[in-house]
Amino acid sequence: MLSDRQREIVKATVPALKAHGEAITRRFYGTMLAAHPELLNYFNPANQRAEGGQARSLAASVLAYAENIDRLGALGGMVERIATKHVSLEIRPEHYPIVGRYLLGAIAEVLGEAATPEILDAWRAAYGQLAGVMIGREGVLYAEAAGQAGGWSGFKPFRVERKVRESEETISFHLVPADGAGLPAFRPGQYVSVKVHPPGCPYEQIRQYSLSQAPNGRDYRISVKREAAPNLPAGLVSTFLHDAVPEGGTLLVHAPVGDFVLDEGHEGPVVLMSGGAGITAVLAMLEHLATRTAREVLMLHGVRSRGHHAFAARVRELAALRPGIRSVTLYEAVGAGDVPGEHHDAVGRITAEVIRQHLPEGEAHVYYCGPIGFMTAAELALDELGIPSARRHSEAFAPDPSFVTGSPDPKLRGEAA
């Protein structure tokens, strides 16, 4: 049990965490993974390199926890974000003591004499409290995934029924259960994890991919952008999936999770924004909104060029299904054969002015997804437009260090490799 005195001590360490947080978390990952290399089965190695974002993401989460140790209700967004990622990786209660041991060790080593026994005891109690919160929420998510109709625990074999090229760099995998069982429903915007063991790689690799079509009860579709892989591990899994997993092959798949989902309690207009591969997360939302609701929808998509433009025909088809759905696509580079109004609608990137030109009347909820650069630009544009955080819903395809307590900031997603 965390005492009042220990809460005061944890909050008092916030300045030290701000100054040394990334150094602490980098040390934590280095020592833990050296002592427990089996945990590399759970981590994307691209995010553990010097330029990776995992240490920054953990540092931001630890800082948010320390700042709000006396009002844990404010951590709801962070807890849900991390819990869904943990469930997708099959992180279990037995992993928490290992993490706690090396996190406290890293704090002690980096802070040196400043890490007094009283401070370390306070952080030990604080970590125990946070672990209890996370284990409790993750237990609920595991039970829900396994207990629903067609649900399962762990990773289940799926057969690749079809592979469909969507653009120069993106291939869709249509997945059906190898045992012929039915599929559980999911909420548009959620994702599944895929576990593979590429040849020559000493550890299993787990990546998360959005379910890129609305639930149909028959198959799941993931759409994988091939990442450049001249120097692995960047692109390790996407390259393996594109080149080495054939139609008829098998993939191990986790049950769907994720909290980047439509707010069904809101009946007003919806703005869907995506950059590049981010379209995979909002496409299922667009299908759901177009076919099962009468809500006004604006779809804004930014992409490099027509060759990189996945799902162009499907988006046009959905936009034509009924009144009240508009689609606007921006290309950064226009080719000689690109026809305005057919292939793209404008040139450039999504900015505040672009959003303002097309923004529906009323209090629209905005859902946006893409790589970190796109997400940063989107946040700034929505700030300029005065869209409040309560009407923003987002997910970034990378470890995200920008968590701000109480706001629905970009979430963690490991689709970038």
pLDDT digits (tens, 9 = 90+) for 5-35: 999 999 999 999 889 988 998 899 999 999 9
Strand ranges in 250-332 using DSSP code E only, listed in sequence order = 250-254, 270-275, 297-303, 325-331
Q: How confident is the model at residue 264 (pLDDT cuts 50, 70, 90)?
A: confident
Catalytic-labelled residue, pool 96, 102, 191, 367: 96
> Taking the complete model, does pTM exceed 0.85, yes or no?
yes
Domain 155-254 falls under CATH 1.10.3720.10? no
Structural class in CATH, domain 4-147: mainly alpha
| Choice between 384 and 407, residue whose per-residue pLDDT is larger | 384
Model confidence pLDDT, tens digit, residues 193-216: 999 999 988 899 999 999 999 999
Whether the CB-CB separation of 186 and 257 falls below 8 Å is answered with no
Q: How confident is the model at residue 227 (pLDDT cuts 50, 70, 90)?
A: confident
Burial class, 244, CB count within 10 angstroms (exposed 0-12 / middle 13-18 / buried 19+): exposed
Where does the chain hold its CATH 2.40.30.10 domain(s)?
Answer: 155-254
pLDDT at 56 exceeding the cut of 80? no
Three-state secondary-structure class, residue 322: coil
Query: Alpha-carbon distance 228 to 262, whole Å?
Result: 32
Catalytic-labelled residue, pool 22, 138, 166, 379: 138
Averaged pLDDT, 294-311: 97
Three-state secondary-structure class, residue 1: coil
Where does the chain hold its CATH 1.10.490.10 domain(s)?
Answer: 4-147
Three-state secondary-structure class, residue 174: strand
Query: Alpha-carbon distance 181 to 409, whole Å?
Result: 36
Lowest-confidence segment of 38-42, 110-114, 182-186, 236-240 by average pLDDT: 38-42
Whether 96 is a known active-site residue: answer yes
pLDDT for res 50: 44
Amino acid in position 344: H
Domain 270-396 falls under CATH 3.40.50.300? no
Nearest residue to 207 via CA among 196, 220, 218: 196
pLDDT for res 406: 35
Angle in degrees, CA 270, 275, 276, rounded to 5: 130
> What H or E segment, with its residue span, contains residue 158?
strand 155-165
